[in-house]
Structure 1
Amino acid sequence: MPTAATTILVILGALVITLIAASLHFYQVAVSRKGNKKAMSSSPDLEQDDNPFTPPEVMAWVREQPLEDVSIVSHDGLTLRGYYLPASRPSDRTVILAHGYTGDAIGNMSALAKLYHESLGYNVLMPDARGHGRSDGEYIGFGWHERKDYGKWIDYVIGRVGAGSQIVLHGISMGGATVLMASGEKLPDQVRGIVSDCAYTSAKDILSYQLKRLFKLPAVPFVPLTSLVCRLRAGYLFGEASAEKQVARSTKPILFIHGEADTFVPFEMVHRLYDSCVSIKEKLVIPNAGHAVAYFTDRELYAGALRSFLGRFVHDRSAAAEESRVPAQVNG
């Protein structure tokens, strides 16, 4: 007959094995590129339209554009790919867009690309994040490794457009967290502003929230254990991937945007991010907007706030130069 001590050891052993298995599974679901993301993508907190980010008129516009395939090599040797679209008139202003979790550049960011290109006159760079789209990578960095990738993309733009470049980083969801995490790094003077739309405070916070909301499981012990798995397999801990900590080091102007009805990345997170930010900052709340659809919910409000923010820090030198070439009128 087994003793009480043996029974306890067996139970503890089974519990440990169960926790390890659950952590490995959660890593596959949340972090691994090959993992099944159906639970996340089918969340009731997300728009379930067939293609909420690229309505037909936007896709028609994309097909007409002379998109150039471009690539860089990351600090850890991955080939990262994207699309470059020069402005209709020569410009030193470039936006680097950052898409969301499990998305891709064309599928997530084309509407904003059209806004920047057609209405604002910017060059547009749309990268596929590591582990997404056409880029290399076997895991998702939740913005932490991607922050360094965006440093490389910034260098690419400066090398292409010139030392006089004026660069804006604009991300949505995980892309928003990515550009906020990049904001805490030493960025060149050419980066004039950052726009973050519906970003989370940290990978730890959003995964803890989603674990409870989607799977009815507590954060402890699953998130800490999965974080250790992530450290071993992907090289980072969830707590490291913190936009909230990075904006506390930022020196760049930041526009924080969030939909008031967002329950996928809780609306309250934008207030924490804004309050933690030590640089010049603005906040835009879009009423009735769910996750990642703030622009589509109120395009006029979104575009107006964006234009106003960018107008403070990014200057249309091509327009100024053109005006200087217009002959002065002589009265009389």
Structure 2
Amino acid sequence: MKKRALLIGSAVAGAAGALTAGLGFYLSNRIMYMAIKEDTVIFEREVSAKRLILKEYDSLPKEEIWIQSPHGYQIKTIVVHPHPSKRYVIFCHGVTENKVNSIKYMNLFLSKGFNAVIFDHRRHGESGGRTTSFGFYEKLDLKAVVDTLIQREGEDVIFGIHGESMGAATALLYAGSVEDRADFYIADCPFSDFREQLAYMIQKDREVIGSPRLAISLAAFFIRLRDGYSIQSVSPKDAAANIKKPVLFIHSKNDGFIPSHMTEQLYEMKRGPKKLFIAENGDHAQSYVANEEEYSRCIDDFLTENGL
């Protein structure tokens, strides 16, 4: 009888362990390999919305280059330089998107006299890379892009970094934990802490059954095991406290994917020059398209206030 109970207990423990491992693998897969949009879908969407006008884009002087990532793959980058000045903005797109999504922001800054650099994050668009790390590895890819711009234009180049969603988190992580090299940053709808963002997403996801805390712990363990980083280290709110250069924080009030209070938290953490714009209209990553005039005017005010 005792032997049989021991066998049953071992079987139950083994089954529970297998289920736990399976859930951890599933959750980490959802994060590391988040489904990205097809390039053709993004392209057709932007053309249909007239945010990408092919004739105008094709007429711009530009150069397509490949930048070596410190993680061993190539980053597809386009340098757009219609103006003779050494004023640039580097654009970081959000998760599931690619550099085409950055063109609408690029056009806005081209109209303000800046040149532009757009690129594909790892595992997106034409760039290499196996997983998405929501800023952990992406921040060093951004540094590689920054280094290339400075090598091309010289140490006297004036540049900002604009990021949307994951791209905004990446920009803040770069500025606050790698190097504060840009002259200004614009963080549009970033999350303030990856662990908190995961908790928010899991609570909304009906596919995940059980305790959100357990789900996050499992995801964190398997991500460290499989992708080599800790999700606790993906914390823009910790980075924001270290940024000395001016930051403009932007978020839509009714964002349903990353709540706007995360940007308000980042704004509070940032010391020194900063500005906050909470847009009345739009959902996630829609602050610009739903509030074009206010968005543009806020950027003008931010640049003027900081002598840029």
Q: What amino acid does structure 1 have at the position aligned with 2:131?
A: Y
Question: Could you report, residue by residue, the CA deviation over 1:295-319 in whole angstroms, capped at 9, with x for unpaired residues?
Answer: 011101000001111223354xxxx
Superposed, which structure 2 residues align to 1:165-314 within 5 Å? Answer: 165-185=157-177, 187=179, 191-214=182-205, 215-217=207-209, 218-313=211-306
Q: What amino acid does structure 1 have at the position aligned with 2:18?
A: I
User: Residue 129 in 1 paired to residue 130 in 2?
Assistant: no
Q: What amino acid does structure 2 have at the position aligned with 1:22?
A: L
What's the CA shift for 1:94?
Answer: 0.5
- State which of 70, 77, 83 in structure 1 corresponds to 2:72: 77
Partner secondary structure for residue 239 of structure 1: helix
Cα–Cα, structure 1 residues 64 and 57, in superposed 2: closer, same or farther, change >3 Å? farther
What's the CA shift for 1:69?
Answer: 1.0
* In structure 2, C-alpha distance between the alignment counterparts of 1:77 and 1:283, rounded to whole Å: 37
* In structure 1, C-alpha distance between the alignment counterparts of 2:294 and 2:300, rounded to whole Å: 10
Q: Note if contact 1:54-1:111 (Cα within 8 Å) is conserved in structure 2.
A: no
Q: What amino acid does structure 1 have at the position aligned with 2:195?
A: K
- TM-score, with structure 2 as normaliser: 0.90
Unaligned runs of 5+ in 1: 42-47, 316-332
Partner secondary structure for residue 248 of structure 2: strand
- TM-score, with structure 1 as normaliser: 0.84
- Structure 1 runs (4+) greater than 6 angstroms displaced: none
Q: What amino acid does structure 2 have at the position aligned with 1:99?
A: H
What's the CA shift for 1:202?
Answer: 2.0
Q: What amino acid does structure 2 have at the position aligned with 1:177?
A: A
Question: Could you report, residue by residue, the CA deviation over 1:65-102 in whole angstroms, capped at 9, with x for unpaired residues?
Answer: 3432112112222211111100x331111100000011
* In structure 1, C-alpha distance between the alignment counterparts of 2:299 and 2:9, rounded to whole Å: 60
- State which of 92, 99, 102 in structure 2 corresponds to 1:98: 92
Q: Which moved more, 1:291-300 or 1:221-230?
A: 221-230
Unaligned runs of 5+ in 2: none
Match of 1:68 in 2: 63
What's the CA shift for 1:57?
Answer: 4.7
What's the CA shift for 1:176?
Answer: 0.7
Cα–Cα, structure 1 residues 188 and 262, in superposed 2: closer, same or farther, change >3 Å? closer
Cα–Cα, structure 1 residues 54 and 31, in superposed 2: closer, same or farther, change >3 Å? farther
* In structure 2, C-alpha distance between the alignment counterparts of 1:137 and 1:188, rounded to whole Å: 25
Q: Note if contact 2:36-2:97 (Cα within 8 Å) is conserved in structure 1.
A: no
Q: Kindly, what percent of the aligned residue pairs are identical? A: 26
Cα–Cα, structure 1 residues 300 and 5, in superposed 2: closer, same or farther, change >3 Å? same
Q: What amino acid does structure 2 have at the position aligned with 1:20?
A: A
**Root mean square deviation of aligned Cα:** 2.3
Cα–Cα, structure 1 residues 24 and 247, in superposed 2: closer, same or farther, change >3 Å? same
